[in-house]
Amino acid sequence: MPLDVRNPGLHDLIAPDAPIERVAGGLGFTEGPVWRGNALLFSDIPNNRIVRWRRLPEGPELTTYATGRSNGLTLDRQGRLLAAAHGGRGVARVADDGTRTVLVEQFQGKRLNSPNDIVVKSDGSIYFTDPPYAVQIGTPGMSRPAGWWSAPIPGKEQPCNGVYRLTPDGALQLLADDCALPNGLAFSPDESVLYVDDSAYKHIRAFDVRPDGGLTKSHILLDMASTDAGVPDGLKVDLQGNVFCTGPGGVWVCRADGTLLGRIILPELPANLAWGEDGSVLFITARTSVYRMQTKTRGALLG
pLDDT per residue as tens digits for the range 18-28: 999 999 999 99
Domains of the chain, with CATH numbers? 3-294 (2.120.10.30)
What mean pLDDT do residues 193-201 have?
97
Q: Is 109 left (phi over 0), alpha (psi -120 to 50) or beta?
A: left
**In which element (H, E) is residue 4 found?**
strand 3-5
pTM, to two decimals: 0.96
CB of 103 closer than 8 Å to CB of 89 = no
Q: How confident is the model at residue 199 (pLDDT cuts 50, 70, 90)?
A: very high
CB of 166 closer than 8 Å to CB of 103 = yes
| Share above pLDDT 90 across residues of the chain, in percent, rounded to a whole number | 89
Measure the CA–CA gap between 49 and 46, rounded to whole angstroms: 8
